[in-house]
């Protein structure tokens, strides 16, 4: 007769596995603060869409070869996008080919300021690389952040992060982040 080997008691193995899994889930940190923060536009009231004049739109197109075109002009380097955007939104010389401004009362600042009507319209090709997409987003964000910082320095004499909550809200109304991102398309055909 063959000798029987005793079986291994694995009854508590499932309990130990569950405890280990629970331990690792509770002690691990999951970084959830990554991504691009954008405030979505408010929902449309009824069937009325906001009318934007062509002058007030900075069109940024990125193709599948990661080439950038801004209002029909090819940019040789993504680093130039920030300055182009700042110039378009600020329009310091009231150039008629750049965005228009509207004198608006800002309640938080208790004064009237010129607010740009400019909107950045971004559209990528489906073949655009992730690195280029992020680089473009970073340049656009940096442009608006620098404009807010410059306004804060010139009107309050301090940095944006030193402003109180009311002043910060006012600055964000004077320089609203207006980026419209269209659904990606295939510029290369197909």
pLDDT in tens, 56-111: 999 999 999 999 999 999 999 999 999 999 999 999 888 988 999 999 999 999 99
Average pLDDT over residues 40-67: 77
**Which stretch of DSSP H or E encloses residue 3?**
none
DSSP per-residue string spanning 92-122? TT--TTS--EEEEEETTTTEEEEEE--EEEE
pTM for this structure?
0.73
């Amino acid at each position: 007769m063959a000798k029987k080997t005793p079986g291994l008691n694995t009854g508590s193995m499932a309990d130990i596995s569950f405890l280990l899994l629970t331990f690792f889930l509770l002690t691990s940190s999951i970084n959830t603060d990554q991504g691009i923060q954008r405030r979505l536009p408010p929902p449309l009231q009824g069937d009325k869409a906001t009318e934007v004049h062509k002058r007030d739109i900075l069109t940024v197109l990125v193709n599948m070869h990661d080439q950038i075109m801004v209002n029909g002009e090819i940019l040789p380097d993504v680093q130039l996008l920030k300055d182009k955007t700042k110039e378009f939104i600020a329009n310091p010389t009231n150039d008629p080919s750049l965005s228009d401004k509207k004198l608006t009362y800002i309640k938080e600042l208790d004064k009237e300021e010129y607010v740009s009507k400019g909107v950045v319209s971004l559209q990528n090709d489906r073949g655009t690389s992730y690195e280029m997409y992020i680089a473009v987003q970073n340049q656009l964000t940096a442009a608006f952040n620098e404009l807010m910082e410059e306004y804060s320095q010139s009107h309050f004499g301090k940095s944006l992060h030193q402003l109180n909550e009311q002043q910060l809200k006012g600055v964000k109304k004077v320089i609203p982040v207006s980026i419209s991102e269209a659904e990606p398309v295939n510029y290369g055909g197909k």
